Structure 1
Amino acid sequence: MIRLLLLCTCAPALLTAQLRLAISADGSHIVNITQNTTPFFYLGDTAWELLHRADEAETRMYLQDRQAKGFNVIQTVILAELEGLTTPNANGDLPLDNLDPTNWNEPYFAHVDRVADLADSLGIFLGLLPTWGDKFNKKWGVGPEVFTPENAEVYGRMLGERYQEHNVIWILGGDRNPENEEDFAIVRAMAKGLRAAIGDTQLVTYHPQGGYRSSQFFADDEWIDFHMFQSGHGSLNDKQNYDFPRDVNREAPGKPVVNGEPAYEDHPINWRPVNGWFDDFDARQAAWWSVLSGTDGHTFGNHNIWQMWQPGREPISSARTPWKEAVHYPGAAQMGHLRRLMESLPYYDLEVDWDFLTAGPNSSGRETVVARTPNDSLVLAYTPYGDELIVQTEKLPEGADYRWFDPRTGGEIPFKPEERGETMVFDPPFAAERGNDWVLVIQ
């Protein structure tokens, strides 16, 4: 009889003190310097419209749910995408007077203050975007473009002064790439204003549009503490999830990287419902591919939740599920299992090893990503379809323990691999098929 060893899913105790993050001395990962430089595994959820569309009761429900499921970062936007400058928030307030980023409407920002206080009390960081990207590079969306280098610097400083005592990670960009000199100047000016207020007390990064990496634009900029990429919503089995971490490390060595926006659960594939919909398996595949390829955490998203969709609102890209129902979809809890396993291991020492397997699938969405520590005391391998894996015995540490970790439930199954000549064979439970994904843990 198979016995499942379940990891604890208890919610952490409420916290009230500000938490300080920094980058480790070797530049490989984020650490919590408030808690003796404990490694901080970034687990984010995208709630872009939270500050704009949710009232305080809804916000509390959502944040408490995400805390219980293991999220420690919530990515949201002050000047929101969906007509955020012209449609009031849930309290009836607009953010700016006369569309001036330096002339704030105080009731709107008082609401942001209360959300920041609530996130602090739950030990959650707000991954706070000062603005969605259409406010400096419209390209698509509604805009309008309201930023110049001059007011962007003032706006950044004002934000930093107001929220420097909160648990905040600043995320510039907002799904846009800088495309001309003015775009670059606006982003750098906003970063300069932030840094003038916060110094090195809070982390700053950049969220590019789909298919891009922040290191393509800001590899040499000192203001950016870690890099983000967006593997996006364009295709099944997107290899950017495992290629981009390597690309970032080549372009900007010495800084951590996080996948800031992968395929969303319940999002139409390539934005067209006729192609089908990404599900929780697609979210898991993107997460495990990314993390074992070298990211310092991961961002999850549900297509209905980022836009806080509910009947009566115009659905963006065919959103179809009320967001308060979508919070119970399985993908979010499965991300918590990822975080708990990684935090129980020295994940920050892992290095991807594409040559570890003697035999295993390497195409068509079945690619098995293997990561190991330099001394081989820990090996993790993610097989999306539960395919048989074969390894030369000489590559395996002597006296190791072997277990299958179930990314759907967080359960673990200890086992002994089959010896086959000079190799060891690892055969996951059940038949190999889409969604029967497993993580091999050798320790």
Structure 2
Amino acid sequence: MNCEIQLISIFFFSFKKLRMLFVWTAIILIPISFYSQKTAFLKISRDHHFLETETGEPFFWMGDTAWELLHTLNREEIIKYLDDRKQKGFSVIQTVILAELNGLNLANAYGEKPLLQNNPARINEKYFTHLDFLLKEADKRGLYIGLLPTWGDKFNKKWGIGPEVFTPENAEAYGLLLGKRYRNNSNIIWILGGDRVPETEEQYEIINSLARGLKTEDPNHLISYHPSGGKIASNYIDEEWLDIDMFQSGHSSLAKEYEYIQNRDSHGFIRPVINGEARYEDIPDRFWEEEDFGRLDATDIRISAYWSLLAGAAGYTYGSNDIWQMYSEGKIPSLDARLGWKKAMGLPGAQQMKYLREFFTSFEWEKLQPAQNLISSENPEDTAYVAASQAADFALFYTPEGRSFQVNLDHLNFKTSEGYWFNPRSGTSIEIAESNIFKNNIFKTPSSGKGQDWLLVLLSR
């Protein structure tokens, strides 16, 4: 039997609610047939706060950003990319049919363009067989595709290449075509938008018409919306067809990801919330400003992810500056990409997302609720802001720079008996001696400073 050697980092928690036990780093043999698993259709949980499979298993959205994947990569490269992302624990790959980087007029790796005469009502079958291939290969690996029918510059050009080709009529026709073609593919999550929000009545009509076309032919799949930077979708699109809310916290080391989710219940519908575009690894920090702030790194990725999840997000999407655009030598880089997508797959932030997913899915993460009232010490909203969340029998505290903090144990939902420091950088943990847990209720991290983030885990008796 052909086998693949895979390193799995594992850690130990003596906790009755753990779904998996991790003890030490081990090397095991996994048959290649592991990749042949079939995905299930997704649905919204009964409380509308997370996603789950048809059988009721909570689904953890661990996304990767691959906007230009369909437009740029050939089939061998797609397999290489999917294999890597599967190994690193990603569950959702976000990509676009009508791509951002001149996706209408610049052909893909096989010389094909997506539309005939740039008419969304007339698709090019040869281009779409490439998408069919991606969906099939992703499904073999248990991966879902967060699929954008179009980038936003095709209905609201703004700073993009465009051209604007959508009308309400052809948008609905395009949605009908996509819905009919892919309604039986279980591993699709539709994502409308594409770094834009509608600004005119006609643009609203285009978005609603596209959604109506999709839903008419395809009632099986969930729909989300990817807005522009610093925005959450439901502030602009609060229609019944929007199943999953999504925000883009943007590419700034000063972003406060936890703020977006605090407003999720102020709208007409309660929905799961995903941070669908956050700080990209190795992108220039605040690239839109003239000053040089350096580049975002794995530390920024972790802060963004843990802040999002402890604030109540149902998932998080990682991004790399080279991978979103599938940059390679010989191409013109966007936003100062410099590594190439193949090298960028090995960046530390991506591996640390595997630790994150393994950690959260070892708990009943879907029952977590934000709980900032647990922190009784001063907690200024700076880059070291401590985030807190708890469920019925465990609580989590994320400190981005190792800042010590005091916990009001009277506000816990349970009586604590165990505590651990989880290291998001290595996926390992350090047990806290019981005598130290209750010492003035102050928790001092094993290390502190920029890049020294820790997650405190308190468990019930």
Give the structure-2-normalised TM-score: 0.90
Matched, 1:410 2:427: yes
Out of 44, 49, 56, the residue aligned to residue 68 of structure 2 is 49
Matched, 1:367 2:388: no
Unaligned stretches of 5+ residues in structure 1 = none
SS at match of 1:13: helix
Matched, 1:198 2:222: no
Alignment of 1:14-163 (within 5 A): 14-33=35-54, 36-163=55-182
Displacement after TM superposition at 1:73 (Å): 0.4
Displacement after TM superposition at 1:399 (Å): 4.6
What is aligned with 1:243? 259
SS at match of 2:236: helix
Give the structure-1-normalised TM-score: 0.93
Displacement after TM superposition at 1:188 (Å): 0.5
Aligned partners of 2:255 and 2:377: how far apart in 1?
22
Out of 371, 374, 382, the residue aligned to residue 398 of structure 2 is 382
SS at match of 2:38: coil
Q: Deviations over 1:24-69 (max 9, x none)?
A: 1111110011xx2100011110000000001111110001100111
Q: For residue 408 of structure 1, what is the amino acid of its counterpart?
A: R
Q: Is the 8 A contact 1:70 1:339 kept in 2?
A: yes
Alignment of 1:392-403 (within 5 A): 392-396=408-412, 397-403=414-420
Q: Deviations over 1:274-328 (max 9, x none)?
A: 2100000001000000000010010000010000111211111111111110000
Structure 1's 421 and 76: CA in aligned 2 closer, same or farther, altered over 3 A? closer
What is aligned with 2:318? 300
Q: Is the 8 A contact 1:417 1:424 kept in 2?
A: no
Aligned residues: 432
Cα RMSD (Å) of the superposition? 1.9
Aligned partners of 1:95 and 1:393: how far apart in 2?
57
Alignment of 1:124-273 (within 5 A): 124-166=143-185, 167-199=187-219, 201-219=220-238, 221-233=239-251, 235-239=252-256, 241-271=257-287
Displacement after TM superposition at 1:392 (Å): 3.3
More strand by share: 2
Q: Is the 8 A contact 1:360 1:388 kept in 2?
A: no
Unaligned stretches of 5+ residues in structure 2 = 1-10, 13-22
Displacement after TM superposition at 1:165 (Å): 1.9
Aligned partners of 1:360 and 1:345: how far apart in 2?
28
Aligned partners of 1:119 and 1:333: how far apart in 2?
19
Q: Is the 8 A contact 2:62 2:89 kept in 1?
A: yes
Aligned partners of 1:230 and 1:411: how far apart in 2?
30
Deviates more, 1:109-118 or 1:242-251: 242-251
What is aligned with 2:376? 358
Aligned partners of 1:101 and 1:74: how far apart in 2?
23
SS at match of 1:401: strand
Q: Deviations over 1:249-274 (max 9, x none)?
A: 32355210000000100000111682
Identity of aligned residues (%): 42
Q: Is the 8 A contact 2:437 2:443 kept in 1?
A: no
